[in-house]
Amino acid sequence: MTAAELRQKRAAALVAGRAIIDKADGEKRTALNTEERPAWDATWKEAEELRVQIEDQERRDNQSRADAELEFRRLDEEKAKKKDEKRVLSRRPFDTEEYRTSWDRYMVRPGATHPNMDEERVLQAGTGTLGGYLYAPETFVNELIQNVTDATIFRSMARVLPPLTGSDSIGCPALTTRMSAAEWTSELGTASTDTALAFGKRALTPHPIAKEVPVSKLLLRRVPSAVELVRSELSRVVSEAMENAYMTGNGTQKALGIFTASADGISTDRDVSTGNTATSVTFDGLKAAKYALKQAYWNGSQWLMHRNLMEQVAKLKDGNGRYLLQDSVVLGEPERLLNFPVRLSEYAPNTFTTTKYVAAFGNFSEAYWIIDSIDMEIQRLEELKARENQDLFIIRMMSDGAPVKEEAVVRVKLG
């Protein structure tokens, strides 16, 4: 089924579920009866399963478009190469075409089992030891990062800076204290001097992310492109680590999370708990969060929460009995809450107890910056998992992220 068909099916399930709740509300019952509860649970479960299918289908559609763009780009590059055989190669040895070709061969069958003097010489330009850590070519890294962006919700919401290539970190200027109010004066009067304005600086320093990925030797022999096989799996494990850090990372050798209270990121001044209970959010609580954000940031603002909170929100109604959540029936568009899109992350907090964070609202492209390092290392170990007939690939890449403008976001907190 297409994503549009899945959305229509999900909309029908949500309508059926809401009819159950409407019936209970019409009979002024505060809880569903023994017949209604299983039906409601079944419709909600179906809606959640369809939501996951929609996201997967849209991700596949996005990947197909990205693959097509890459193919067109490759064809354009081949045409340009034929017109200019004397093009200048990159100054970095592992960004040359010769290195990329040898690296692809190594991914399928390393030099240790397929001796090739030219291949060994080229690969050694990256590390000096064949079979050690090899720098992945920039084309591979860019494709992996593109896959991570597609697979990770928060990277598409935040501002992703261009990769670092010539430095270890980047400074992010931050306005820590605003100027005091201007004062009325006469035509010839002297303006008062401001002493309140202050700027700080948060440095984004990419930190290593490492993961092991076992791949079947049989697959490596039979799959025409082992590079794509490894890249797809690396994209998954890297995106999970990144998303987790973007949500709740403590900033120590990893990203500083949006849900982590910190003077270096978002302080507790941006927490809103008014109207919420100790175990759930309320209509008034969500309204309070919305209006705690300055209107200047509303353009582009979104809600960020876990799907478990989404279930609570799906049952909330305003004073006129209308549901707060506006279901999306348009391909590619998320549901809307108080007229703003809702994005779901599996790594957003979902512990509903006193004073816990459960959601965030704001313009995350202004509030949060992400920086990657273009250098990626991959190691292939052939003997460690030989008994399982697998080769082990170890990836090391570097990334960092942190809030840079706390007033562009508010966090929803339980009472």
Domain holding 324: CATH number? 3.90.1690
Indicate whether 185 belongs to any domain: no
Give CA–CA dist 10/3, Å, rounded. Answer: 10
Residues of the chain with pLDDT under 70: 80-100, 103-151, 165-180, 187-202, 222-227, 229, 329, 331-332, 374-375
Q: Are residues 107 and 145 in the same domain?
A: no
For residue 39, give its domain range: 1-88
Global pTM value: 0.64
pLDDT recorded at residue 120: 41
Indicate whether 183 belongs to any domain: no
Indicate whether 184 belongs to any domain: no
Q: Are residues 316 and 236 in the same domain?
A: yes
Q: Are residues 246 and 326 in the same domain?
A: yes
Q: Are residues 129 and 140 in the same domain?
A: no
- Residue with token string 């999370």: 257
**Per the structure, how many domains does the chain have?**
3
Indicate whether 108 belongs to any domain: yes
Q: Are residues 386 and 272 in the same domain?
A: yes
Q: Are residues 289 and 229 in the same domain?
A: yes
Q: Are residues 127 and 48 in the same domain?
A: no
| 175-402-167 Cα angle (round to 5) | 90
Q: 171 phi and psi, to 5 degrees?
A: -85, 140
Give CA–CA dist 353/415, Å, rounded. Answer: 8
- For residue range 296-311, list pLDDT tens digits in order: 999 999 999 999 999 9
Indicate whether 250 belongs to any domain: yes
Q: Are residues 221 and 312 in the same domain?
A: yes
Q: Are residues 4 and 64 in the same domain?
A: yes
- Type and span of the H or E element at 54: helix 36-83
pLDDT recorded at residue 127: 38
For residue 263, the 8-state DSSP code is T
pLDDT recorded at residue 146: 67
- In this structure, which amino acid lies at residue 351? T
Q: Are residues 238 and 359 in the same domain?
A: yes
Q: Are residues 121 and 208 in the same domain?
A: no
**Helix/strand/coil for 358:** strand
Indicate whether 190 belongs to any domain: no
